[in-house]
Amino acid sequence: MSTEQEQVQVEDYKYGFHFPDESVFKTERGLNEAVIHAISDHKNEPEWMREFRLESLRTFRAKPMPNWGGDLSGIDFENICYYAKPSEKQYDSWDDVPAAIKETYDRLGIPEAERKYLAGVGAQYDSEMVYHNIQQELKDKGVIFTDPETAVREHPDLVRKFFGTVIPYSDNKFAALNSAVWSGGSFVYIPPGVHVDVPLQAYFRINSQNFGQFERTLIIADEGSFVHYVEGCTAPVFATDSLHSAVVEIVALEGARVRYSTIQNWSSDVYNLVTKRGVAYKDATVEWVDGNLGSKRTMKYPAVWLMGEGAHGEILSIAFGGKGQEQDTGGKCVHCASNTSSVITSKSISKDGGIASYRGQIKVEPGLTNVRSHVECDALILDPESKSNTYPYMDIMSDDVSIEHEARVSKISEEQLFYLTSRGLDEEEASTMIVNGFLDPLVKQLPMEYAVELNRLIELEMEGSVG
């Protein structure tokens, strides 16, 4: 890649700015027990959490790197800073947030979005949540929306009951890493029967160079409740690699529904390796809407475990693999009860030599009846240099099961371009319109503001793409 091309990419990425690193505390680069103790000390954690971290570190060291999915050989675990604390405390008013940090979020439009259409906002800067606020009305109903550190202190029973139960630290190498060094993230608890009608949002921002962000999110929807949780992420453009390795656990108790939406738009030097899993008990629903743009490598397969009868899981995955990028995304549904259903829809776009792969799994445990699953993968390849792969895995151990799998790969046809350009759209705009159209059935399911944002991001990705 020539420097000139790199320059272009930098300019294309609107969130590529960063402010000087003014962390109040930072661990040395590299990972060892001392780093774990430093993090634990700074957070004033109970002993059980410190032990959990140390045990996770041992597991992380013991597990080999995954030898499938994207190429991760560029990650140098010893050259990463695992903890950077941006400010001494957390605020519940934007006016109190330190100026450079506040300006970052202003430029990302977060305070404005909060005023307009969010029920609560959490903002994380490097390792710590710097801002948290939730509507008083929801607080009064018993809704908890805070960072996991506060939850460990103030709601230890809830945390100990669910933390690490959906995704054990031994699940995979990166879940172990997150469990060892996790910092920040969200903790959400919705009491029985409470419906939170407007979304709660968390925004994760990396500011430091060679940094690893390891937020940890736990969402518990008690019986018959509903919440829509939204997450956004960006990072500045550095020439060196950063690592984002989050863990998100969702528990939907009987009759609850949790919808989790994220549009991730990392800069092109971020390894984005996230483990996301939800469990849906009787008559509960867990829905993931997962949009992945940017990053260098993304490996992310949101999962739903259907634990009780009547449970439903739904995963919508959108991936855009541009120049130098590899999006390895998809979904996984595990049916552990009869009368359960799941839907996985994946739409991927690859361009300028980018790779977009769908990797998905449907698993049905033995002895179940009336299980239904529908998997649909659509790939759009914009040029001959780019690639799309599909890796569907089926592991079906019951007979009374209906599984549908559809996969389509398409290209933008010359006839479509000719038709649109004959109406006056230039070729770039015509291709962008076709790409947005390809995503439209999914985008329609996002809240308006995110749909608009996604369309705009696609436009940025498509800029300068037609010679």
Partner 1 sequence: MKLEIRDLRAQIDDTPILKGIDLTMESGQLHALMGPNGSGKSTLSNVIFGHPSYEVTGGEILVDGENILELETHERARLGLFMAFQYPVEIPGVTVGRFLKRAAEIRFGEEDFKASAFIKELRSWLDFMDMDQNFINRYLNEGFSGGEKKRMEVLQMLMLKPSFAVMDETDSGLDIDALRIVANGLNELRGPDFGGMVITHYQRILDYIKPDFVHIMYKGTIVTSGGRELVEALEERGYDWIRKQHGIEEEENEKEIVHEH
Our CB check for partner 1 shows the closer of 154 and 426 to be 426
Backbone angles phi and psi of 101, in degrees to 5:
-70, -45
Strand arrangement, sheet containing 120-125: 128-134, 120-125, 200-205, 226-234, 257-266, 285-294, 312-321, 340-350, 371-381, 401-411
Q: How far apart are CA 180 and CA 370, in angstroms?
A: 40
Our CB check for partner 1 shows the closer of 101 and 434 to be 434
Shortest Å distance, C-beta 381 to partner 1 = 15
Shortest Å distance, C-beta 418 to partner 1 = 6
Our CB check for partner 1 shows the closer of 367 and 437 to be 437
Helices 33-43, 47-62: inter-axial angle, 10-degree rounding: 150
- CB neighbours of 374 closer than 8 A, spacing ≥ 6? 342, 343, 344, 403, 404, 405
Our CB check for partner 1 shows the closer of 73 and 422 to be 422
Shortest Å distance, C-beta 263 to partner 1 = 18
Our CB check for partner 1 shows the closer of 89 and 423 to be 423
Our CB check for partner 1 shows the closer of 198 and 466 to be 466
Shortest Å distance, C-beta 354 to partner 1 = 20
Cα pseudo-dihedral 332, 334, 335, 340, rounded to 10: -30
Shortest Å distance, C-beta 430 to partner 1 = 8
User: DSSP strand E in 16-139: where?
Assistant: 25-26, 84-85, 120-125, 128-134
Our CB check for partner 1 shows the closer of 158 and 466 to be 466
Q: Which residues bind partner 1 (CB under 8 A)?
A: 413-416, 418-427, 429-430, 433-434, 436-441
The answer to whether 59 and 176 are in contact (CB under 8 A) is: yes
Shortest Å distance, C-beta 265 to partner 1 = 21
Helix, strand, coil % in the chain, rounded to nearest 5: 30, 35, 35
Shortest Å distance, C-beta 434 to partner 1 = 7
Our CB check for partner 1 shows the closer of 290 and 378 to be 378
Our CB check for partner 1 shows the closer of 119 and 446 to be 446
Q: How far apart are CA 166 and CA 164, in angstroms?
A: 6
* Diameter over CA atoms, the chain: 69
The answer to whether 349 and 378 are in contact (CB under 8 A) is: no
Could you count the other beta carbons within 10 Å of the beta carbon of residue 239? 8
Shortest Å distance, C-beta 433 to partner 1 = 6
Q: How far apart are CA 57 and CA 46, in angstroms?
A: 17
> For residue 281, with 0-12 CB atoms within 10 Å meaning exposed, 13-18 middle and 19 or more buried, which class applies?
buried
Our CB check for partner 1 shows the closer of 248 and 430 to be 430
Backbone angles phi and psi of 307, in degrees to 5:
-95, -20
The answer to whether 259 and 245 are in contact (CB under 8 A) is: no
Shortest Å distance, C-beta 441 to partner 1 = 6
Alpha helices in 182-254 (DSSP H): none
| DSSP characters over 250-287 | EEE-TT-EEEEEEEEEE-TTEEEEEEEEEEE-TT-EEE
Shortest Å distance, C-beta 131 to partner 1 = 36
